[in-house]
Amino acid sequence: MDRTYWHRQEPGQPLYADLLWSRPENKQHAGKLLVVGGSSHGFAAPAEAYGESTKAGVGLTRVLLPWSVKKMLPPGLLGMEFVPETPSGSFAGSALAELLDASAWADATILAGDFGRNSETAILLEKFLQKYHGRLTLVQDAVDYFIKDASHVLARPETTLVLNMSQLQKLAVQAKFITAFTSQMDFLLIIDALHEFSKLHAANIILEHNQTVFVAVNGEVSTTKQADDADHTIKIAAHAAVWGLQNPTKQFEALTTSIV
């Protein structure tokens, strides 16, 4: 089978090295990223996304957290902003205006996770997705909030979903995709299925599975081997968000290069 849509990237050897040389040298031109996440149950995901976006070379980053997280943080941290919380410490519905205002400032937004399971937060995120039309990356439990409405999030342009196999499987089922994604799938079958799946949907797909990161955009698929089988999805999402906002017209190349 002639898989011209498959592009194999070796670790440390970017397929699209020209993007490395065209990156902004001045922070003022390196883009603005909004990181959203956290709850009283944890804030490791937005904290990691903040750190990794800085490593990835973003210009400015703001982090939006519920008030419940503030007491867990040391004083004086820069870039941290706090919005209304639910009684259980998650994002409250009344935080929508502040979330939209902050996202309007940014060139891209990442819903980084650790939102917890809360019905009010679910409604907030649903309303945000309806009203926000900018570049968006979803990872961790932020993805889980939209699985039941998979058709909406998959049809959204300028959207990147960073997934594990279980999440991709659930999304594909909801989208009524003909091929079942499973953890036992053959490597080449995953590539072929992502090729077909990404042709059908506007959203970019990044899958971390079996020490490999798969990037699928509009039928093109790249694979990059990882050094271990740990969960790197937050790091992957943060770097993808930064590279994506800095290369808006070259999403496949940018997301692939962000993995190196």
Sequence spans of domains, the chain: 6-258
Q: Distance between CA atoms of 117 and 176, rounded to whole angstroms?
A: 25
Model confidence at 2, pLDDT cuts 50, 70, 90, reads confident
Q: Distance between CA atoms of 191 and 211, rounded to whole angstroms?
A: 14
The residue written with tokens 């903040």 in the block is 50
What is residue 136's three-state secondary structure?
strand
CB within 8 A of 185, min separation 6: which ones? 193
Nearest to residue 99, comparing CAs of 151, 52, 34?
34
pLDDT the model gives residue 76: 62
Q: Distance between CA atoms of 216 and 194, rounded to whole angstroms?
A: 6
Q: What is the pTM of this model?
A: 0.96
Q: Any bridge partners for residue 47, and if so which?
A: none
Contact 29, 244 (CB under 8 A): no
**Tens digit of each residue's pLDDT (9 = 90 or more) over 201-224:** 999 999 999 999 999 999 999 999
**What are the distances in angstroms from CA 16 to CA 4, 24, 58, 83, 253?**
16, 16, 19, 40, 6
CA geometry: angle 255, 43, 232, nearest 5 deg = 35
Model confidence at 126, pLDDT cuts 50, 70, 90, reads very high
**Tens digit of each residue's pLDDT (9 = 90 or more) over 144-153:** 999 998 989 9
The rounded percent of the chain whose pLDDT value lies above 90 is 88
Q: Any bridge partners for residue 162, and if so which?
A: 206
Q: Distance between CA atoms of 208 and 236, rounded to whole angstroms?
A: 9
**Residues 63, 64, 69, 70, Cα dihedral to 10°:** 80
Contact 193, 169 (CB under 8 A): no
Model confidence at 28, pLDDT cuts 50, 70, 90, reads confident
pLDDT exceeds 70 at position 246: yes
What is residue 200's three-state secondary structure?
helix
pLDDT the model gives residue 244: 97
Mean pLDDT of 156-179: 97
CATH of domain 6-258: 3.40.1190.20
Q: Report residue 170: phi and psi, to 5°.
A: -65, -40
